[in-house]
Chain A
Amino acid sequence: MKDEHRLLIALQDLDIMIKEVKDKATSKELQSLGFKLTGLGELTDARDKLAKKVPRNLLQRYEKLAQHYTMAILPVTGSLCLGCFVKLPTQFFSLVSRNELQTCENCGRLLYIP
């Protein structure tokens, strides 16, 4: 896997965490358990720093997809896109390289082979 793809996956993990903290029900639940969630600023700073390391064209693709989907980038497991659960065509696997991100023809999500 290329470093830029790793960065994108880490960015998505971070986005999911930020989304959780901003979600009132989840943050209320965490706070009721005793967790202090005071560092949202640190998280968004870390997100900005990470985003700057991702090549611009890739980041733009990710950001566009992330507006619609919580999971914009996903691993391929079996022969399905785990985002939309549509079976990927056979040629997907003959053309796909472990180093290149692919796109699900159905939902447009970014896919990688782990």
Chain B
Amino acid sequence: MQSMEVAKLISFFEEDLCIFHLRSRKKMSALTEMVHHLALKHKISDERFIIEMLKNRESLGSTGLGNGVAFPHGRSLAIKDLTVLFARSASGVDFDALDGKVTKIFFLILAPSDKGSETYLSILSELISLIQKPAKLKNLYEVTDYPSLVKILQEKDQ
């Protein structure tokens, strides 16, 4: 998978598509809250399709990769353009993460189903490698506004 420039990666983030205080504490309600946010911002045509698709994706294996981060993702006809939503939970969500710990950071990545999987795989891959550093992750756990989020993502490895 070809590496993507950080600036290009950040271009997929929108201030409107960030939730800095996720209220939900359980997996399905957290996914529903994020998808509902996308619906309010007119990014998806039907919440039910997306929720159902994400639920199915989680049954394949949790997208909570551990270290407090999850990457729910998938493709659906109900999404028109590649969309990335960032969410942060101060208290953490029980997301069946692989390490059994709560999840505090979510990168929800949705792609249209008429495009290939490579459209979201490159973002997924880049995001996962970007947040490997513990210091960056710690900053993300505490981020509460969009400019700070962009700054953290832009920062060179600490």
Known contacts A12-B77, A26-B121, A114-B45; decide if A37 and B61 are in contact (CB<8 Å): yes
Q: What residues of A have a CB within 8 angstroms of the CB of B59 in the complex?
A: 39, 42-43, 46
Cβ of B76 and Cβ of A13 under 8 Å apart? yes
Cβ of B75 and Cβ of A13 under 8 Å apart? yes
Interface of B is mostly: mixed
Once bound together, how far apart are the Cα atoms of A82 and B62, in whole Å? 32
Once bound together, how far apart are the Cα atoms of A42 and B52, in whole Å? 13
Q: What residues of A have a CB within 8 angstroms of the CB of B66 in the complex?
A: 34
Q: Distance in Å from the Cβ of B13 to the closest Cβ of chain A?
A: 19
In chain B, positions 41-67 with a C-beta closer than 8 Å to chain A are 45-46, 48-49, 52-53, 56-57, 59-63, 65-66
Q: Does A66 have its Cβ within 8 Å of any Cβ on chain B?
A: no
Question: What class of interface size applies to chain B in its complex with A?
Answer: 20 to 34
Interface of A is mostly: helix
Q: Does B32 have its Cβ within 8 Å of any Cβ on chain A?
A: no
Q: Does B154 have its Cβ within 8 Å of any Cβ on chain A?
A: no
**Residue positions of B touching A, CB distance < 8 A:** 1, 45-46, 48-49, 52-53, 56-57, 59-63, 65-66, 74-78, 98, 113-114, 117, 121, 124-125, 128
11 further A-B pairs in the complex, CB-CB below 8 A; given A43-B60, A82-B114: A13-B49, A13-B53, A17-B53, A17-B75, A26-B121, A29-B121, A30-B121, A35-B63, A36-B98, A38-B60, A46-B56
